[in-house]
Amino acid sequence: MRNLELCGVSQRYGSRTVLRDITLSLKAGSCTMLYGSNGAGKSTVLRLAAGRERPSAGCVELDGRLVREEDVYSRTRIAAVLGPPACYPDLTVEEHFLLIATSHGSRDAPKVAQSIVDQLGLATHSDSLPFQLSAGLMQLVALGSALARPREVLLLDEPEQHLDVSRRQSLIEWVAEDLRAGVAVMIATHDPQLVAALADDVAVLEEGHLVARGRPADLVQRGGAAHCIFCGQTR
Amino acid sequence: MHLLRPDALAQRARSLLRSLRPKPRAQSIYVAYVVCVMACLYVVPYGAVGADYLRFLDSDVAARGAAAFPVAVAAVILGLLSVSVHDGSWRGSVRAEAAEIDWVISGPLSWPRLMMSRVVSTALTLSVCGAGAAAVSGAVSTVLRHERITVPGIVQAAIAGAFVGLICCACNVMSQVFLRPDSARVVATSLRVGAAVAATVALIAALRHQGLELPAALWWSGPWGWMAIVTGDVFPSAAADTIALLLCVALGLTTAAVAALGVIRIQAAALRSRAGRYDGVLAALMSADTRLAGQLTELGQRRRPRRRHPPARGPLSACLWHVVTGWVRQPGPPAAGLVWVAAGVLLPTVWLDDPPPAAAVGVLLVYRGVSLLLENVRLQTDDVHRSAHLPQALASTMLSVCRIGASVAVGGAVIVIAISGHLGYAPSMGSVLVAATIPAAAVAVAVTACRGQLPLELLIGAETPFGNSGPAQVALWFAQVPVALVVFSAVVSSIVPSATGSALTGDNAIATLSATAASMAFLWVMVAWLRGRVAALLQS
């Protein structure tokens, strides 16, 4: 069972400190939601957890090993969908999934790719190149890329962006399936539906500080600043 | 709100549509013009050669015509590409950069000045293409005639070939709009072009003063040479080439002046409304942007089913599959890349009298060729997170792509060397050195691809007795990797003198090994440089 740990992590960009002493742990089969207003530091936490940035202080570890984007150990275990979707302009939708599945040594990569295309409802766009897709379809391709590969940790930054209502419901089902398979999930979101359906644990961030952490129901009952942020956003 | 009555609305619509209708008169004039130009360039000279041959059965005349034939093919392709644009329209890069044009229209920049800059850039591109085609084809033609290639000869051929590009560009521009007279602009443009031509004539005169014979280059390429074939029968041989040059200049001047008049009247909105995908592809080809041409072609094939390729069998072949998929989807750049590699490898073999520069130029040609084969490297570094879901680190992925590109390039180089040896041209040591540099050149392309953003402090520069150093610093920053390659090849050529000057025999095996070992050491340096660059890029 994999554990991702953020131990006393701080992050500074120049003289500006965007995260201060954040400690979080992700356990297999559990979903942690990052909650907070814009600029609170949610995306920075995810980038640090994915190894895309190195923290100014503290450390990020997966099973006791430092997480770094260039490290094969981290790359093969952590699937992250962060920021704007990045696709190869010369590959079609299905070929993206095929490349990723093959690279990870999937036994029957063409079938995997085809199943993801069907699962995401992209059958009519499977032969399209990325520049022919809308923002919502690009987001689906990004999510599909994470589904096409083996993963033990899944990091998603506002995955509900650009998705319609039915696709948001499908997103919940995909993540729930991952949780059942023992994947540790961390999601930054503003969508109360996602929180209500998936969250085992909510971490509330405010101006780079972790101001509260707990189960959603506990946060609602606890009151205080975290309650205001959490309930204000969910409302 | 003011509403138009139906008849007024219909009249307004008709007036709008009128401007978009094809202009039969303008089109026929344009077609006639193109026919005249093409006749002047190709039909008349070859007709004259053929007539001479039939009249006198002069084998020398026939041989001269035959020798110029490969050059004619290259120039005809260039000319047709330029002047056969649908409806005779010149799009420049307007279709390609619509967003930029939108911004420019609402900005403070001058539209005529912008359009003129586009004409100049297109003319330069076509001239350089013409010059390159003429020089290479001329060299091939000379080799086929078992004669020695000389540097002044190549320069003269390039000058001649550049006229083709200039004339073709002018043809396209002048066909875009119907023109109104503007004497001031005609005079100004003519003076500018005249000054350039005077400089060219002065250069040629200086070359001839050095005792270099011009007629040898006349058969190589361009309207200059072909007109000389005709005029040579009428005038004394000493004056024939000059008269031919003047005729050629007159044609170029006329078209350039007319083009300058017309270009400022091109309306951006009209261009955008009339430009189709076909025009866009041609415009991209004309501005030598093959990547954009490929994208536009793909756009046009949106509704067609995508070509399927056999999927990769396992993780080791995934990268190869991705690279090959890109090549199959856009075969132009890799094919051109192989041609560049072949030219780079062959150059030291055919240019035996001045070996070290030949090796340096050959390495540069190989670098250009490999860069076309490694388009995938650029895709990886345009956005470093594209490969985020792949298990290999970015540096490993880039090195895998480099290995694939280098393997193909080395294979092509070996085949070219074998064929040239079979044809009787023993491969020189310089060719071996250039071929051995291919792996390092491939990694060098990757280093260039991840150089990141230009450091702004370079733009500021420092004051020196020669002026501000900013432009030189910026140029050096952009060209640092090719410069390193040239320096490397020059150093190896001078340290291993026999490595370039002689044909490959058993006697200089040590020199071969030395050159190869030096190339491997350079490859190691490039790989270390690449790893550093990738790490910096990921942290930026």
- B256 and B109 in a common domain: yes
Which residues, other chains included, contact B420 with Cβ-Cβ below 8 Å and sequence gap of 6+? B346, B349, B427
pLDDT at B404: 94
The secondary structure of B345-413 as a DSSP string is HHHHHH-TTSHHHHHHHHHHHHHHHHHHHTHHHHHHHHSGGGGTTSSS-HHHHHHHHHHHHHHHHHHHH
Architecture of the domain delimited by A3-234: 3-Layer(aba) Sandwich (3.40)
pLDDT at B185: 53
Mutate to test the interface with B, among A52, A82, A90 (most CBs of B within 10 A): A90
- B286 and B348 in a common domain: no
Predicted-assembly ipTM surpassing the 0.95 threshold: no
Residues of B in contact with A82 (CB under 8 A): 385
Least Cα separation, residue A213 to chain B (angstroms): 30
Q: Where do we find the tokens 């022919």?
A: A132
Residues of A in contact with B322 (CB under 8 A): 88, 91, 99
By a Cβ cutoff of 8 Å, what residues of chain A touch chain B? Answer: 52, 54, 69-72, 75-76, 79-80, 82-83, 86-92, 95, 98-100, 102-105, 109-110, 127-129, 131-132, 145-146, 148-149
Least Cα separation, residue A55 to chain B (angstroms): 11
User: Considering CB atoms only, which of B295, B311, B388 is closest to A86?
Assistant: B388
Residues of B in contact with A83 (CB under 8 A): 385
**Which letter, b or e, does each residue of B300-316 get, where b requires 16 or more Cβ atoms within 10 Å of its Cβ?**
eeeeeebeeeebbeebe
Per-domain boundaries in chain A: 3-234
Cβ contact B379–A80 (<8 Å): no
Which residues, other chains included, contact A180 with Cβ-Cβ below 8 Å and sequence gap of 6+? A29
- B501 and B388 in a common domain: yes
DSSP A39: T
**Which letter, b or e, does each residue of B475-512 get, where b requires 16 or more Cβ atoms within 10 Å of its Cβ?**
eeeeeebbebbbebbeebbeebebbbbbebeeebeebb
- B376 and B258 in a common domain: no
Q: What is the mean pLDDT of each run of 10 residues along chain A (235 residues)?
A: 82 88 90 88 92 90 88 90 86 90 87 89 84 86 91 91 87 91 91 85 88 81 59 52
Domain that holds residue B400: 315-452+468-539
Residues of A in contact with B530 (CB under 8 A): none
User: Considering CB atoms only, which of B295, B383, B389 is closest to A100?
Assistant: B389
Q: Give the β-pairing of A184-188 and A31-35.
A: parallel
List per-residue pLDDT tens for chain B, 540 residues long: 344 455 654 555 454 444 444 455 555 555 555 556 555 555 555 555 555 555 555 555 555 555 555 455 545 555 554 443 333 333 333 333 343 343 333 344 455 555 565 566 656 666 666 666 666 666 665 665 566 666 666 666 666 666 666 665 665 555 444 334 445 555 555 555 556 555 555 555 555 555 544 444 444 444 555 455 445 555 555 565 666 666 666 666 665 565 556 555 555 555 444 445 544 554 554 444 555 555 655 555 444 445 556 777 777 788 888 998 888 888 888 888 999 999 998 888 777 565 567 788 888 899 999 999 998 888 888 888 888 889 988 899 999 999 999 999 999 999 988 888 877 777 777 788 888 889 999 999 999 888 877 777 777 767 766 667 777 788 888 888 888 888 887 777 776 655 444 444 555 667 777 777 888 888 898 899 888 888 888 877
Residue B481 lies inside a defined structural domain of this protein = yes
Cβ contact B390–A79 (<8 Å): no
Least Cα separation, residue A13 to chain B (angstroms): 11
Residue B127 lies inside a defined structural domain of this protein = yes
The one-letter code for the residue type at B284 is A
pLDDT in tens, B105-145: 334 445 555 556 556 665 666 666 666 666 666 666 566 55
Number of domains in chain B: 2
User: Considering CB atoms only, which of B314, B319, B385 is closest to A86?
Assistant: B385
- B259 and B387 in a common domain: no
B 259-288 residues inside an 8 A Cβ radius of A? none
Least Cα separation, residue B356 to chain A (angstroms): 40
- B412 and B266 in a common domain: no
Which chain B residue shows the shortest CA-CA distance from A82? B385
- B286 and B353 in a common domain: no
Which chain B residue shows the shortest CA-CA distance from A93? B306
Cα distance between residue B432 and residue B525, in whole Å = 20
B332-350 and B429-436 are packed helices; what angle lies between their axes, rounded to 10 degrees?
Answer: 150
- B442 and B341 in a common domain: yes
Least Cα separation, residue B232 to chain A (angstroms): 53
Least Cα separation, residue A75 to chain B (angstroms): 5
Q: Beta partners for A5?
A: A25, A61
Which chain A residue shows the shortest CA-CA distance from B328? A90
Q: In this structure, what are the phi and psi dihedrals at residue B504, rounded to the nearest 5 degrees? A: -75, 115
Distances (CA, A) of B347 to A78, A186, B361, B447: 50, 58, 8, 25
pLDDT at B108: 41
Residue B41 lies inside a defined structural domain of this protein = yes
Least Cα separation, residue B454 to chain A (angstroms): 20
**Which letter, b or e, does each residue of B87-99 get, where b requires 16 or more Cβ atoms within 10 Å of its Cβ?**
ebbbbbbbbbeee
- Enter the tokens of residue B66: 């035959």
Contact of B6 with chain A, judged by CB distance below 8 Å, is answered with: no
